[in-house]
Structure 1
Amino acid sequence: MTAARRSFADLVAEGAAVPTEGWDFSWFEGRATEARPSWGYARSAGERLAGAEAALDIQTGGGEVLAFSLGAAAPARPRLVAATEGWAPNTAKATALLRPQGVVVVAAPDDAPLPFADGAFDLVLSRHPVVPHWDEIARVLRPGGTYFAQHVGPASVFELVEYFIGPQPEAVRRARDPRRERAAAEAAGLEIAALPAERLRMEFRDIAAVVHFLRKVVWMVPGFTVEAYEPQLRALHERIEREGPFVAHSSRHLFDARKPL
C-alpha cells in the first residue's frame, strides 16, 4: 500500500515552519538533494586548519561548517581561531556551537571592515560569502597567508529563481563570475593558486523543500513569502506531483589564494 500524498497546504505549512538559522541543511534529507563539489570544501578546509597558526572564518553562518572542519583537523589545530557573522540569530547559534571549541565568535556586519589587526591570520576561510571584501581579506592575512574559500558562482539555482520572478538580465546572471572575482582578488594583491568551478545538479522533491529553501536562502527570491507567491507555489507543487522532482543547478568555485611574502 502506498502512503497517501500530502496536501499542498500541509507541505507549505511545514516548509514555512522550519527554523532558518544556521547552515545545517539536514532537514532537506529525503526531500531535496544537491551534488557536492569534487574538492570537498569542509574536509579540505580541515587540512588547511591543521597546518595553520591563526585562522579566521568569515561569515560563518551558524558555525556548522567550521565546526566540521575543526573536527577534520583534529588533533592538530591553530592556536587561535576566530569567526565573524553578521546576522544576529546566526551569531548566537555559532557562539553556542563554537565557543566550547575555543573559537572566538565576533558579531560583525558583512559589509563592514573586519575587526582585526593587519596581518592577524595566516589562514582565512569562508564558505559562500555574500560579497568577498578583497581589500579586507588581504589586509588581515599575513604575508604568505592563504585565503581558502568556496564561493557561489553565477546564475546559481536560477532555474528556481526564474520560475518565480522571471528571466533575469544578463548582468544579474553574470554576477559572481569567478573571472571577475579573480581580477578583484588580484587587484587587492592576492595571487591565485587555483580557481576550479563546477555546476551541480539539485533536485527539489516536494514543495515544502522549495518553501524552506527560499526562506533560508533569502537572496534567491527577495521578499519571498508563501502568501505573495501562492499561485506559483501551487502550480509548482502540481508539476512536481505530476512530473517528479524540480531540477536546478548550483554554481560553485573554490578560491585558493595567497598573499605574497
Structure 2
Amino acid sequence: MSVNPASGAFEDLVAEGAAVPTEGWDFSWFEGRASEERPSWGYAVSAGRRLARAEAVLDIQTGGGEVLDFALGRAEPARPASAAATEGWPPNVAKATALLGPRGVMVVAAPDDAPLPFADEAFDLVLSRHPVRPYWGEIARVLRPGGTYFAQHVGPASVFELVEYFLGPQSEQVRTARDPGRERADAEAAGLEVAGLRAERLRMEFRDIAAVVHFLRKVVWMVPGFTVEEYRPRLRALHERIEREGPFVAHSTRHLFDVRKPAR
C-alpha cells in the first residue's frame, strides 16, 4: 500500500522508494509523486511517423523497449521490413526481448560504449532516446546513404538542482557536458548533416522523498553510487524541506536531433 506523501514517515517513504524495481523506462510509478514536463516535439509519436516510412530500423540503447514499442504501435499498419535494438544492461535486455520480440524486433545485448554489432549501411533509420553518449562514427557507419538518425538526447546540467543538492556545486566542465552545439560539431565531423536541432528546458517536481530515492536508483548517472545509507542525512533534510515547503523543483534539459547521412 502506498504511503500518503503528505504524512508518511521518512523511513517508510525511503523504504518504499528503495523497493521499487528499476528495470526498463516505465515511469508510471511516479504518477502523483513526481512530474516532468514533456518536450513539445513529442518524440515517440514523431518516431512512429518515421517508422511508418522506414525499411530497416535500429533503436540504440532501447532500455526496456517501451519507447520503441509505443512508436511501432503508432506506425501500424505500416511496418519496417526489419527492426533491431541494442541494450547494454542485462535486466533491460530481458525486458526488451519480451516486449519487442512479438513485434519481430531483434534485441541485441551490446555494451553502450562498444561498436555497434551490425554491418555497414544496414539501416535507413536509426533511433535513440536518451543515449548515454552518441557514437557518431558508428551511427554514420551503420546508416545507409540518405538515411536518418532521429533521437532525443539529454542536455547539459539536466536535473542539476537535485544533483548539486547531493554532490555540491559541479565544475563548469561537468555542467556543460552533453552540450547540443558540441554534439552537432561531432556529428558533422563524422560526415553527417544536421537537418534539425531543437532544445528545451522542462520543469520537474518531486513531491515526496520516495520519488527522489527511486529516481536516483533508476537514473544511476545522476548521483553515481547512490545508496540510501550513504545519503540518509541529506535525504532526511530534503524530506523535511518537502514537508515544510512543498515539492522540490528541478529542470531537465532535452534536445532533438534530426541528422542525415549524405546520399552518394
Unaligned segments of structure 2, at least 5 residues: none
Give the alignment of 1:60-79 within 5 angstroms: 60-79=62-81
| % identical equivalent positions | 83
Question: Secondary structure of the equivalent of 1:72?
Answer: helix
Which of 118, 121, 131 is the equivalent residue of 1:116?
A: 118
The letter for the 2-side match of 1:47 is R
Cα distance, 1:215 vs structure 2: 0.2
Cα distance, 1:3 vs structure 2: 9.2
Which of 143, 148, 163 is the equivalent residue of 1:146?
A: 148
Equivalent position of 1:49 in the other structure = 51
Cα distance, 1:69 vs structure 2: 0.3
Aligned-partner Cα distance in 2 for 1:33–1:25: 10
Is 1:199 the counterpart of 2:191? The answer is no
Report the TM-score, using the length of structure 1 for normalisation.
0.99
Give the alignment of 1:115-134 within 5 angstroms: 115-134=117-136
- Kindly tell me the number of residue pairs found equivalent between the two proteins: 260
Which of 236, 239, 242 is the equivalent residue of 2:241?
A: 239
Equivalent position of 2:232 in the other structure = 230
Deviation string 1:70-122 (CA, Å, 9 cap, x unpaired) is 00111111010100000000000000000011000000000111000000000
Question: Secondary structure of the equivalent of 1:81?
Answer: strand
2:33/2:211 contact within 8 Å kept? yes
The letter for the 2-side match of 1:103 is V
Unaligned segments of structure 1, at least 5 residues: none
- Tell me: CA distance 1:5–1:101, structure 2 relative to 1, closer, same or farther (3 Å): same
Cα distance, 1:164 vs structure 2: 0.3
Equivalent position of 2:223 in the other structure = 221
The letter for the 2-side match of 1:257 is V
Question: Secondary structure of the equivalent of 1:254?
Answer: strand
Q: After the TM superposition, which segments of 4 or more aligned residues of structure 1 sit over 6 Å from their partners?
A: none
Is 1:183 the counterpart of 2:195? The answer is no
2:5/2:208 contact within 8 Å kept? no
Deviation string 1:41-76 (CA, Å, 9 cap, x unpaired) is 000000010000000000000000000000011111
Equivalent position of 1:80 in the other structure = 82
Equivalent position of 1:24 in the other structure = 26
Question: Secondary structure of the equivalent of 1:229?
Answer: helix
Over aligned residues, Cα RMSD in angstroms? 1.0
Deviation string 1:138-161 (CA, Å, 9 cap, x unpaired) is 000000000000000000000000
- Tell me: CA distance 1:259–1:4, structure 2 relative to 1, closer, same or farther (3 Å): closer
2:18/2:213 contact within 8 Å kept? yes
Report the TM-score, using the length of structure 2 for normalisation.
0.97
Is 1:8 the counterpart of 2:30? The answer is no
Cα distance, 1:4 vs structure 2: 7.0
Equivalent position of 1:96 in the other structure = 98
Aligned-partner Cα distance in 2 for 1:180–1:200: 21
- Tell me: CA distance 1:4–1:250, structure 2 relative to 1, closer, same or farther (3 Å): closer
Cα distance, 1:189 vs structure 2: 0.7
